[in-house]
Amino acid sequence: MGGPAPGPQARAWVRLPSGRRLDLLSPTPLDWTDDDLATGLSRTFRWGGHSIWPGAPLSVAQHSLAVLERRRRTHPLSHAAQLRELLHDADEGLINFDCISPLKPFLGPGFADLQARLAAVVAQRYGLPAWTPGEKRAHKQADIAAAAAEAVYVAGWTAREVRDTLGIRAAPEPVDVLAARYGEDAWRPWPPKIAASRFAAELLRLQAPPS
C-alpha cells in the first residue's frame, strides 16, 4: 500500500481448494485449477459485499457471465474473445478481493502491480489475445452498463444516485441478461456454489475447440 517493494524472498502464499498453492507475489500459469478460479470468483463479492437481496451478495463470477452475455448480444465474438470477456476479472478470484473503484488509488502502485501480474499469468494460462483499442472500449461499455444496473437492482442505489453520486454515466437497464438463460429471478444474486458451477461450465465450454 505505497510502501517499499517486496524483497526477493517475499512470499504471499494462499492455499486453494484443490490443494495447490499460489504465491500471489510470484504467480505462474499452473498454480490453480479451473475449479479453483471458479470457486474464488464465486466467493468474491461486488459492491463491497453489500446487497438489497437476502442471502449471498453478487459474486464476480455472476458479473463476469453477465458482461460476457452483454458482449455476445452486441457483436459476434470469437471463442478467444468470449474467453477474454469471461476472464476479465479473473485476477480478483485469485486474490479474493474486488476493490471498489474509488479506493484503488489509495492502495498504491504495489496493488496495481499485483493485479497486473495476476492478469498476465491468467492471459498466459488461457491464451487470451491482447485487447485492441476498439475491443477494450466495447468491453468497458458492457462492464459499465452491467455496473450501472447492478448498482440499482442489486446494491440499492437510485438511478439518480448512480449518475450523481457514483459518477456512472450509463443508464441502468432493467433487463437482466442472465435471468432467462438460467431461469432465475431477475437480478437475484446466485449462491456461491451455483455461481461457481455456471462459471466453470462456461469456462470449460469456451476452452473446447470451436465446432
- In order of their start, the domains of the chain are 30-207 (1.10.3210.10)
pLDDT of residue 3: 46
So what's the pLDDT on residue 6?
Answer: 55
- Give CA–CA dist 143/204, Å, rounded: 22
- Distance CA(92)–CA(2), nearest Å, equals 20
Nearest to 198 by CA among 180, 184, 182, 183: 182
> Across the 211 residues of the chain, what is the mean pLDDT of every consecutive 10-residue run?
55 96 96 98 96 95 98 94 98 94 90 95 97 96 97 98 96 96 96 98 93 72
Instruction: Write down the pLDDT at residue 102.
Output: 87
- pTM greater than 0.85: yes
